[in-house]
Amino acid sequence: MHKNGQMRKNGLMRGWMIGAALMAALAGCNTVAGVGDDVSGGARTVQGWFR
């Protein structure tokens, strides 16, 4: 039982961390164009990892 509770707690914490990261990323770009630039930059970064 302890293990399941720990897994549930870890999953909840991970969800909060992902949500906080998304909020911070969206707060960093003030316009729709800024969001597009940020997404494009992220896509280019990930694409560079596979080259």
User: In whole angstroms, what is the distance from residue 15 CA to residue 20 CA?
Assistant: 9
Q: Indicate whether 2 pLDDT > 60.
A: no
Q: Hey, what amino acid is at 3? A: K
For 9-15, which contacts have Cβ atoms below 8 Å and span 24 or more sequence positions? none
The more confident residue out of 35 and 50 is 50
Q: What is the mean predicted confidence (pLDDT) over 18-33?
A: 75
**Which residues span the domain enclosing 44?**
2-49
Number of domain units in the chain: 1
pTM of the entire predicted model: 0.41
The CA-based diameter of the chain, rounded to the nearest angstrom, is 48
pLDDT band at 51 (very low <50, low <70, confident <90, very high): confident
- DSSP element (H, E) containing 5: helix 2-28
